[in-house]
Amino acid sequence: MDLTKLLSLLETKHLYFPRADKFEDQFEGELTTAEVNILRQHEDEGTQPSGHANGMIKLSAMLKRSMFISCWFASEHESAAMWKLYINSPEGIAIRTDYKSLTGVLEHSPITVRTSMVNYIDYDREVFPNTNTFSRFIHKRLSFSHENEFRAVIWSLEEVNSKLIEANSESVSLEIDPQELIKAVHVSPKAPDWYGDLIEKIMIRYGLTCTVERSKLYKRPSFI
């Protein structure tokens, strides 16, 4: 993320969940092509009523407007590709957490949040392994497998959540404790030294004891 988003997280103490239909990937929350073909085949065979497939396709639009997702890159190592994709300038950071810490802060919220790794499949040939409401949002096309994504998902129509989330909300923000969530802040590999110094001062100002780690991704190797 950029510095603005980091400051927003620290200042508001809220974790941001954008609505699924705001994502760039137009396949977000959609059925796979293979799944639609099977639904239409069932219509042709008479095992499903006419129009069933189109109804399931149209359901996607409603579901996308009711799902809110926080996306995380899951790995033991930093990714050169992720830095390039999500940081538009050298002055960026990544916050690091772990499964226990992330789910721990989410459990404090009155809003129900579900978590899952994203599964990457061939949308032309494969169908979702189950038909629950969240399946469309924990699967993505193989072209995105480099993201190795872990998701925290809120369904606003779930019984408890429907009382807490306003209709037509474009995002949901959950109150969190940054000290509990953030285990380290990684500074972009292309950031100048002064930027790393600034991030360290910001962590101190907000009372965070996490480490600030400066990426060595593009540091020249030295074997002597």
Overall number of domains in the chain:
1
Give the C-alpha distances (Å, rounded to integers) separating 92 from 24, 69, 74, 86, 171. 21, 22, 18, 9, 23
Question: Distance between CA atoms of 110 and 75, rounded to whole angstroms?
Answer: 29
| Contact call for residues 102 and 51 (beta carbons, < 8 A) | no
Q: Helix crossing, 33-45 with 52-64: angle to 10°?
A: 150
151 within domain boundaries: yes
pLDDT (tens digit per residue) in 81-125 = 999 998 888 899 999 999 999 999 999 999 999 999 999 999 999
pTM: 0.92
Q: Which pLDDT belongs to residue 220? A: 81
3-class state of residue 154 by DSSP: strand
pLDDT of the residue at 223:
76
Identify which of 97, 89, 91, 107 has the alpha carbon closest to the alpha carbon of residue 73: 97
Tokens of 156: 């606003």
Q: DSSP character for 128?
A: -
Least confident of 2-6, 36-40, 146-150, 218-222: 218-222
What pLDDT, on a 0 to 100 scale, did the predictor assign at position 170?
A: 97
Q: Flag whether 133 is in a domain.
A: yes
Per-residue model confidence as pLDDT tens digits over 200-221? 999 999 999 999 999 988 888 8
* 219 occurs within a structural domain: no
Task: Report yes or no on 157 lying in a domain.
Answer: yes
Strands annotated E in the chain = 14-18, 67-73, 93-96, 114-117, 119-121, 139-141, 149-155, 171-175, 184-187, 211-214
- The domain in which residue 159 lies consists of 3-214
Residue type, 42: H
Q: Which of 216, 141, 207, 132 lies closest to 177 in space, CA to CA?
A: 207
Instruction: Give dist(CA 113, CA 152) in Å, integer.
Output: 6
Give yes or no for residue 129 having a pLDDT over 90.
no
Residues 68 and 18 sit within 8 Å (Cβ to Cβ): yes
> Residue 130 pLDDT more than 80?
no
Residues 70-76: what's their mean pLDDT?
96
What integer is the mean pLDDT of 43-52?
A: 92
Q: How far apart are the C-alpha atoms of 147 and 143, rounded to whole Å? A: 9
**pLDDT score for 221:** 82
DSSP letter for each residue of 78-124: --HHHHHHH-SSS-BEEEE--HHHHHHHHHTSSS--EEEEPEEE-TT
* Residue 46 domain flag: yes
Query: Would you say residue 223 lies in a domain?
Result: no
222 occurs within a structural domain? no
Maximum Cα–Cα distance for the chain, whole Å?
74
Is the pLDDT at 132 greater than 90? The verdict is: no
In a domain, 115, yes or no: yes
- Residue 47 carries which DSSP code? S
